Amino acid sequence: MKKILVANRGEIALRIMRTARQMGIQTVAVYSEADRQAPHVRFADEAVLLGPPPSAQSYLLGDKIIEKALELGVDGIHPGYGFLSENADFARKVTAAGITFIGPDPHSIEMMGSKLAAKEAAKKFHVPMVPGIEQAITDVETAKEIGRKVGYPILIKASAGGGGKGMRIVEREEDTKEQMERAISEAISAFGDGSVFIEKYVTGPRHVEVQIMGDRHGNVVYLFERECSIQRRHQKVVEEAPSAILTPELRKAMGEAAVRVAKACDYVGAGTVEFLVDINREFYFLEMNTRLQVEHPVTEMITGLDLVEWQIRVARGEQLAFRQEDLQIHGHALELRVYAEDPLNNFLPSVGTLSTYRLPEGEGIRVDGGYTEGMEVPIYYDPMLAKLVVHAPTRTEAIQKMKEAIAAYEVEGVSTTLPFGRFVMDHEAFITANFDTHFVQHYYTPEKLIESHNPAAEVAALLALNLYLKEKDQLKVAEREASHWGRRAK
Ligand code: MV4
């Protein structure tokens, strides 16, 4: 592979191109009119304009991307995450054009894209599943029967959904009809597919996902787990590896279950198997994401592997150079997603210009970003500025390092989730690893954020320090003047 086109933008496009360059591979960026000056465009060896800012007229134009790739003699396309990354048709067209798709085969993407097909495949491989059914249902009476069998509350999920889209909780049997009708009509309008299924609703679960990697020679390994329970409205904000609640036995059981899911769909490359872990530490398969995930750096930190490098190597037909028994967890990693959002105003996107933008640096600190000082945050795309990642020998030290990194991260011009990150790092429930997916609902309010970090107190402290330094200078002068009188008592 000599030339890779990255069909993406921002931090992930940059991150992929950095590894490609290290491997001696040429890079091609694609960009929209909003991204003409973006770092991923400047970094690439070549760049092609796709069209106007909206994704549908730029980053989602699969045919145009393939056409440009062919013109430029590209031999591999990496889709990153989002956009075309889990589009089986795109993967198929890339391959048909004689270009290597750096990702799994289209049939794996398709199978895991259908939550029902995924559950059916996983069930055959004895992967634990939430009680419920693995068939599409339309009949309210059948739904009620399942509800009675597994116990309420139940969750109606859209087969074509995922990531929390198209889910409805049913608390009591008498609400089943209404919620089911809603779920079906939402699924039809959102996905063009009204298939829904039912699971028992697991209360207070943790979201733990397992990173897997497979090659074209039948090898699949798990690269341990990421704890992703700190999220708001299905948007993850803090992730960590390893999870503080897994025992070595549970880690092995979940890892092996994830490998079976991968084998169930002939998976090749980097993938993630999502599980729920309940209060009794029982785990259940949820879905599989057939892409490189946003939070992959925490796995890289604890394994020492470059996941993009292995995606590329596997795509060009190499065997994995490590077996399961070669892999070990080193230390603890945390990631904070730094969004241009206002945590004091319901996390609404905060657009504007980054008038000040300085990144923390230091050992064990990694920032995957796509912004520099003076840039504007475009309204057209995901408002993530960067991922702040830290790595330390222990979880406690990682939390400390994250707090220092947050303090050293300077942003002016837009609001960010940095103060929210500090709130999490300071929270008793996070420190003791005693939290679930409801952390934000349970513990977070803007008032608490202000309380936990009173800017007025900080200003007062700074003023006091300033005054002290000035006085110290005056004291020094006074001391010097007084010195010929002999030593003074301090
Ligand atoms: C669940 C659940 C409870 N019980 N399924 C949300 C995302 C999608 N991948 C599946 N999700 C859930 N499925 C059962 N049977 C709770 C969630 C859920 C959740 C899962 C992971 C991370 C955050 C979440 C937030 C709310 C609900």
CATH of the domain at 174: 3.30.1490.20
Residue 132 dihedral angles phi and psi, to the nearest 5°: 160, -145
Helix (H, G, I), strand (E, B) or coil at 160: strand
* Cβ–Cβ < 8 Å for 285, 128: yes
pLDDT digits (tens, 9 = 90+) for 202-253: 999 999 999 999 999 999 999 999 999 999 999 999 999 999 999 999 999 9
Answer whether the bond into residue 153 is a cis peptide, omega within 30°. yes
**In sequence order, what are the beta bridge partners of 4?**
27, 76
Look at the block and give the residue holding tokens 């939430």: 130
247 shares its domain with 345: yes
Pocket perturbation via mutation, ligand 1, pick of 133, 154, 201, 207 by most ligand atoms within 8 A of CB? 207
216 shares its domain with 357: yes
Distance CA 167, CA 162 (A): 9
- Asked if residue 109 belongs to a domain, the reply is no
Average pLDDT over residues 398-418: 98
* pTM of the predicted model as reported, rounded to 2 decimal places: 0.92
- The residue among 314, 268, 310 whose CA lies nearest residue 288 is 268
Task: For residue 177, give Cα distances in angstroms to 53, 116, 254.
Answer: 42, 21, 35
Check residue 459 and give its pLDDT.
59
Atom nearest to 200 CA in ligand 1:
15
Check residue 82 and give its pLDDT.
97
Pocket perturbation via mutation, ligand 1, pick of 234, 272, 284, 290 by most ligand atoms within 8 A of CB? 234
- Asked if residue 480 belongs to a domain, the reply is no
The CATH number of whichever domain residue 452 belongs to comes to 3.30.470.20
Please tell me the distance between residue 144's alpha carbon and the centre of ligand 1 in angstroms: 21
Domain of residue 451 covers 206-473
Q: Is the dihedral of CA 275, 429, 297, 222 positive or negative?
A: negative
Ligand 1 pocket, 334 CB below 6 A? no
Check residue 487 and give its pLDDT.
39
Atom nearest to 164 CA in ligand 1:
7
332 shares its domain with 452: yes
Please tell me the distance between residue 164's alpha carbon and the centre of ligand 1 in angstroms: 6
* Cβ–Cβ < 8 Å for 135, 141: no
- Work out the widest C-alpha separation in the chain, in whole angstroms: 99
The CATH number of whichever domain residue 88 belongs to comes to 3.40.50.20
Q: What is the DSSP letter of 129?
A: B
Residue 484 confidence (pLDDT) above 70: no
Q: How many domains does the chain have?
A: 3
- Asked if residue 57 belongs to a domain, the reply is yes
Task: For residue 130, give Cα distances in angstroms to 262, 279, 334, 428.
Answer: 18, 14, 28, 30
436 shares its domain with 329: yes
414 shares its domain with 432: yes
- Asked if residue 258 belongs to a domain, the reply is yes
Check residue 264 and give its pLDDT.
97
Residue 305 confidence (pLDDT) above 70: yes
214 shares its domain with 196: no
344 shares its domain with 467: yes
Please tell me the distance between residue 240's alpha carbon and the centre of ligand 1 in angstroms: 18
Ligand 1 pocket, 202 CB below 6 A? yes
Confidence of residue 201 (pLDDT cuts 50, 70, 90): very high
Check residue 483 and give its pLDDT.
43
Pocket perturbation via mutation, ligand 1, pick of 133, 156, 196, 202 by most ligand atoms within 8 A of CB? 202
Confidence of residue 469 (pLDDT cuts 50, 70, 90): low
Please tell me the distance between residue 233's alpha carbon and the centre of ligand 1 in angstroms: 10
Distance CA 402, CA 47 (A): 35
Residue 467 confidence (pLDDT) above 80: no
194 shares its domain with 218: no
Confidence of residue 165 (pLDDT cuts 50, 70, 90): confident
Over the chain, what is the mean pLDDT?
93
Length of the chain: 490
Average pLDDT over residues 296-322: 98
380 shares its domain with 279: yes
Comparison of pLDDT for 483 and 163, the residue scoring more = 163
Task: For residue 29, give Cα distances in angstroms to 104, 237, 429.
Answer: 21, 27, 42
Confidence of residue 166 (pLDDT cuts 50, 70, 90): confident
Residue 477 confidence (pLDDT) above 60: no
277 shares its domain with 399: yes
Check residue 164 and give its pLDDT.
74
- Asked if residue 115 belongs to a domain, the reply is no
450 shares its domain with 336: yes
Check residue 489 and give its pLDDT.
37
Average pLDDT over residues 39-44: 98
- Asked if residue 116 belongs to a domain, the reply is no
**In sequence order, what are the beta bridge partners of 129?**
285
In the annotation, is 291 catalytic? yes
- Asked if residue 486 belongs to a domain, the reply is no
Please tell me the distance between residue 257's alpha carbon and the centre of ligand 1 in angstroms: 19
- Asked if residue 484 belongs to a domain, the reply is no
Residue 155 confidence (pLDDT) above 80: yes
Atom 10 of ligand 1: nearest residue by CA position: 164
Q: Is the dihedral of CA 202, 210, 236, 78 positive or negative?
A: negative
336 shares its domain with 458: yes
The pairing of beta strand 235-241 with beta strand 220-232? antiparallel
Average pLDDT over residues 66-88: 98
